[in-house]
Amino acid sequence: MNSAASRRRFLLRSAPALVGMLLGGCDRLSNSPWFARILAVAESLNAAVKKGTSTRLSMAQEFPESELSPSFRSNGTSRPSSAEYESLAANGFADYRLDVGGLVAKPLSLSLDDIRALPSRTQVTRHDCVEGWSAIGKWKGARLSALLKEAQPSASARYVVFRCADSLEEGGDPYYESIDMDDAYHEQTLLAYELNDAALPIGNGAPLRLRVERQLGYKMAKYVMRIELVDKLDGIGNGQGGYWEDQGYQWYAGI
Ligand SMILES: Nc1nc2c(c(=O)[nH]1)N[C@H]1C(S)=C(S)[C@@H](COP(=O)(O)O)O[C@H]1N2
Ligand SMILES: [Mo]
């Protein structure tokens, strides 16, 4: 066997061990030229592993029900003031439709029953508001990943934008928020329709609010009316990706 072929066989047999050494960093081995070549591959693998563990895969802490807060306060808007929202609420949200559009193959218009029929998840998590309060609540909702599977985002989609029914100032711009695709497909990212085993109260965002558990409270858009897949955030609000972001808050509000 010539030396190139035997080297290849060696590489194939010992690939897992080599990757292990490379991930741990091994300067002596990386001095040899053929090794330097696969080092580049291993480095990109390492980056993928790191991204996976720190973004897509890591889970926000979940709590036992014994730790539920006695009440979950309402913050920001406690009831949208538009006539359109009032008429939806008056009818128990029977006429509510969630529109899903933008960069998708299949735009959707979903009733609450449609949303309740999607694969769901229940989780007890802690909500942290920048204003200095926290509360532990039990959320049930449709997995955003399941909704996206239906809508089929195009390859160019980079963000999911949530458009809300309320504005914080009279006649002001409506509340909105945005997350990236990693958070959109995260297991704990939900469109919640229940809080603490009851229909989501109006004060907490009825009929549907976002839960994106690894971020701060202001990311958790309440009163979600429309979801839009986009490739950039410019041109939406002041272009910073959310109502509070437009006033200078961080877009990635990790906790
Ligand atoms: N549509 C909308 N979503 C919103 C807000 C709001 O005012 N309007 N306030 C945000 C902030 S700052 C927090 S802390 C939480 C409050 O959620 P809660 O009312 O269920 O406590 O919702 C967030 N989402
Ligand atoms: Mo908040």
The per-residue pLDDT for range 107-130, each reduced to its tens digit, is 999 999 999 999 999 999 999 999
Considering every ligand atom, which ligand is closest to the CA of 74?
1
Q: Which of 203, 194, 210, 92 is nearest to 160 (CA)?
A: 210
pLDDT of residue 68: 98
The per-residue pLDDT for range 88-111, each reduced to its tens digit, is 999 999 999 999 999 999 999 999
- The pLDDT confidence band at residue 153, using thresholds 50, 70 and 90, is very high
The rounded Å distance from CA 5 to ligand 1 centre is 62
Instruction: Return the higher-pLDDT residue of 26 and 165.
Output: 165
In ligand 1, which atom is closest to the CA atom of 174? Answer: 1
DSSP 118-134: S-EEEEEEEEEETTTEE
- How far is it, in rounded angstroms, from Cα 190 to Cα 225? 15
The rounded Å distance from CA 125 to ligand 2 centre is 15
pLDDT of residue 33: 56
Give yes or no for a cis peptide into 207 (omega within 30° of 0). Answer: yes
> How many other C-beta atoms are found inside a 10 Å radius of the C-beta of residue 209?
22
The per-residue pLDDT for range 205-232, each reduced to its tens digit, is 999 999 999 999 999 999 999 999 999 9
DSSP 12-39: HHHHHHHHHHHHH--HHHHTSHHHHHHH
pLDDT of residue 231: 98
Q: Which residues line ligand 1 (CB under 6 A)?
A: 73-77, 129, 164, 166, 168, 175, 203-205, 217-218, 220-223
Ordered structural domains, the chain, with CATH: 57-246 (3.90.420.10)
> How many other C-beta atoms are found inside a 10 Å radius of the C-beta of residue 196?
18
DSSP, res 166 = E
